[in-house]
A and B are shown apart, each in its own frame.
Chain A
Amino acid sequence: DAGVIQSPRHEVTEMGQEVTLRCKPISGHNSLFWYRQTMMRGLELLIYFNNNVPIDDSGMPEDRFSAKMPNASFSTLKIQPSEPRDSAVYFCASSLSPGDTEAFFGQGTRLTVV
């Protein structure tokens, strides 16, 4: 398996634009996580899904952020409208089952909003 695949690897966009980040989890994994990493705040959990169902989105910073998982092999994180403070590295991770100690991370998407 190729691991967790995220796209794009880098995204530069202007303030106010819509940004969509994509993730393909490892086949057979039932849990999917979206994290955001910054120097100031570290790795923050935004939302996680079990069996394609959002379980906890309390980490989503505001209504500008939304995430979907239409099927077991694809998830998106959307920011609309984007702001400079959204600049960060966004990671997607998947694990075999809820509560599994090992989550496998993608390479991340480095987002810069100017």
Chain B
Amino acid sequence: QKEVEQDPGPLSVPEGAIVSLNCTYSNSAFQYFMWYRQYSRKGPELLMYTYSSGNKEDGRFTAQVDKSSKYISLFIRDSQPSDSATYLCAIFNQGGKLIFGQGTELSVKP
């Protein structure tokens, strides 16, 4: 079983839609959960992270962790064409390795 799994999509939504991106992880001991955003032909960049469980909000973006179900989510409100990118969830595993999900390709149509 992979340590973190993510549906690769692709996902296409109209401008203004609410987007929900999700990952599952394997080990309940994981504490840090990150979301990275990767534009085409660029390296990934950290979007936001959460520690342990609960929600974290940053503008139109909300990251959520449900430790009981080992589920992490990223919500994008009022999505914009500039949000079109690949979104990757990531965790630090027990060995201190930064492990990424496969990434979900999002397209927001004007």
Contact across chains for A55 and B96 when beta carbons are under 8 A apart: yes
A98 interface residue (CB < 8 Å to B): yes
Q: CA separation between A56 and B96, bound complex, in Å?
A: 9
Of the four ranges (under 10, 10 to 19, 20 to 34, 35 or more), the interface on chain A belongs to 20 to 34
Does any Cβ of B come within 8 Å of A61's Cβ? no
Q: Is the CB of A105 within 8 A of B100?
A: no
Is A108 within 8 A of B92, CB to CB? Answer: no
A99 in contact with B92 given A42-B101, A45-B99, A48-B97 (CB within 8 Å):
yes
Chain B residues close to A by CB (< 8 Å): 6, 8, 32, 34, 41-46, 49, 88, 92, 95-103
A5: min CB distance to chain B, Å: 11
Contact A56-B95, Cβ < 8 Å, known A42-B101, A42-B102, A101-B32: yes
Grouping DSSP codes into helix (H, G, I), strand (E, B) and loop, the A interface class, with mixed when no group exceeds half, is strand
CB distance from A39 to the nearest CB of B (A): 8
Kindly state the separation between the CA atoms of A55 and B41 in the bound complex, as whole angstroms: 29
> Would you list which residues of chain A between 20 and 43 have a CB under 8 Å from chain B?
33, 35, 41-43
Q: Give chain A residues whose Cβ lies under 8 Å from the Cβ of B42.
A: 107-108
Given contacts A45-B97, A101-B32, A107-B43, 5 further A-B contacts (CB under 8 A): A42-B8, A43-B88, A45-B98, A99-B92, A101-B46
Do the beta carbons of B96 and A99 come within 8 Å of each other?
Answer: yes
Q: Quick one: given A55-B96, A99-B92, are A93 and B101 in contact (CB under 8 Å)? A: no
